[in-house]
Amino acid sequence: MASITQRLARIAPYLKSGRRALALAGLGAVVGASTEPMIPALLQPLLDQGFTARALPLWSIPLALIALFFVRGLAGFVAQYGLASAAQNGVLQLRQDMFERLLRAEPGLYTTHTASQLTNTLVYEVQQGTTQLIGALLTLLKDSLTLLALLGYLLWLNWPLTLFVGLLFPTLALVMRTLGRRLHRLTVLGQGATDDLAYVVEENVLAWRIVRLHDAGAQQAARFADKARLLRRLLLKSVVAAATITPVTQMLAAFALSAVIAVALWQAGAGGSSVGSFVAFITAMLLLVQPIKHLSDVMAPITRGLAAVERSVDLIEQSPFEAGGTHAPARAEGRIELHDVVLRYRADAEPALASLSLRIERGETVALVGPSGAGKSSLVNLLPRFIEPSAGQIRLDGRPLRDWDTRALRRQFALVSQDVVLFNDSVAANVALGDDVDEPRVREALRAANLLDFVNALPQGLQTLVGHNGSQLSGGQRQRLAIARAVYKDAPILILDEATSALDAESERAVQDALERLMQGRTTLVIAHRLATIEHADRVLVLDGGRLVEQGSHAELLVRAGLYARLHAMQFRN
């Protein structure tokens, strides 16, 4: 397991922008620590001279104390603010890097991490971990310097006695290291249990209709209770590990302090020191207890904070960016070729696509049909590289997809899916997603999708917010907004996945007319279960079990009386 120093070094690059604030924090901590020995140092002349010969002015010691505590307070504020400023700059940089990685990471990241895991790491854990680290590192910095300052003062007063104190630290370090390792392991397990609990909540929030329809509330509550009890057990174990550190270290300090006080009293009785020096030494020794206690307490928040922040760093370091080439034309012609493409989602699973080879010409409209699980969606997801083939090669305009710059590649595709995704932004921003908003062009796109009259009637028109995933719109309106987005993008290749499935008959006809105009001169792949919507496709590809079993025009396939004809007959049977 990496040491605390090595783990802190992992997050150090994110603090570079706060170097000045860190320097300020360090200066404040040094000044604050240097004032600690001054308290017992002021007591010595007060006891030796102030109460006897009145050698000191009456106001000197009280005034010095006021000045001392003013400097301590100011130094503490500077140290805390400087460290917090540096840490929050680091959080900002870390969050930005994490979100950029989410936007550009290989798609496999979204199959190995749930949405709740990624959200929890990016939004909550990095902030909570940093907050814990700020307090713990400030304590570590201030109290370590205070300890050194007091030990230096004690060495100056009485070095033989001070050596007793030095015997404490190796044992103390060993105890903290052993208990710290157990606490780190429990913290990591607790993070995993928290993710599992959050995922149960996420599933039930998204599927609340199904849960209620099937009266599965008790079943889901039992799932939640199991995860919550596991998290509770891990958290209690973490509390035990953290709570053990403090009493153990305090007992070690108490033994050492008791021995030192006994020897100091013996020396004073033998006439080896004055009353002032004895009280100053004892006071400095007692002042050591507080920083030692703080340093024994600091291991738990450092461990928890580091474990939380390290998850964010792990997400960045272990999620590579998508690999792509340099080929980046402004607009593709739209010729697509697949050569012996095989796709497996798992190594031990049957192929979703098996040795698939086909060629789609520029401007051709190709319909993909077949029973559920035939591989239609898998095929279209391969084209913008949302998934990678297990074998074979896919080419666009004669160039392998891996040679294309990924951003340039995806600019060539417009997708209208049956699973519409909208952002909680304005209608105009959703239509022009990824591009600058050109309102006249947005209006034309909405008109083509048979949605302009509806948008014009909204309170803020184009600037009306659509709500969480379009919650302020009906299903048909959401789908027409997605179609308007595809019209606005004006990509050379269209992918239509049940693009009119949520529309009423009148709207479907209007949108179908718009799509037919849009498809002219563009390569179009249409996934449709309602076969009546693809009768005018140039070619129909019939997939079954991941294989291409038939292809031809609608009329040709009906004459062949194969799978397509059977599917067609099933839909139109009275």
Q: For residues 480 and 53, which has the higher predicted lDDT (pLDDT)? A: 480
Instruction: Decide: residue 179, CB within 10 A, 0-12 exposed, 13-18 middle, 19+ buried.
Output: buried
Looking at domain 4-317, what is its CATH homologous superfamily?
Answer: ABC transporter type 1, transmembrane domain (1.20.1560.10)
> Would you call 170 exposed, middle or buried from its count of C-beta atoms within 10 A (0-12, 13-18, 19+)?
exposed
The predicted pLDDT at position 441 comes to 92
Tell me 125's DSSP state. I
pLDDT digits (tens, 9 = 90+) for 38-87: 777 776 666 666 555 555 565 666 777 788 788 888 888 888 888 888 88
pLDDT value of position 106: 79
What dotted CATH number matches 336-572? Answer: 3.40.50.300
| pTM of the predicted model as reported, rounded to 2 decimal places | 0.67
Q: What is the pLDDT of residue 574?
A: 45
Give yes or no for a contact between 570 and 555, defined as CB atoms under 8 angstroms apart: no
For residue 429, what are its two tokens? 């921003």
List pLDDT tens digits, range 132-187.
Answer: 777 777 777 787 888 888 778 777 877 766 676 666 667 666 776 777 777 778 87
Residue type, 324: G
Please answer whether residues 537 and 554 qualify as being in contact, where contact means their C-beta atoms are separated by less than 8 angstroms: yes
Which of 138-147, 203-212, 495-504 is modeled with the greatest confidence? 138-147
In the Cβ-directed half-sphere of 194, how many Cα atoms lie within 13 Å?
A: 16
Residue 428's Cβ-side half-sphere holds a number of Cα atoms within 13 Å equal to: 15
Starting at the edge strand found earlier in the chain, the sheet holding 353-360 runs 353-360, 336-343, 391-396, 399-400
Contact 413, 384 (CB under 8 A): yes
What is the phi/psi pair of residue 413, to 5°?
A: -120, 140
Count CB atoms within 10 A of the CB of residue 59: 8
Instruction: Read off the pLDDT of each residue in 356-372 and give the average, rounded to a whole number.
Output: 90
Residue ranges per structural domain of the chain: 4-317, 336-572
525, 494 contact by CB (below 8 A): yes
User: Which pLDDT value is given to residue 532?
Assistant: 66
For residue 564, pLDDT beyond 50: yes
- Provide the token pair at 551: 């292809």
What's the CA gap between 351 and 353, in Å, rounded?
5
pLDDT of residue 412: 92
DSSP-assigned letter for residue 502: T
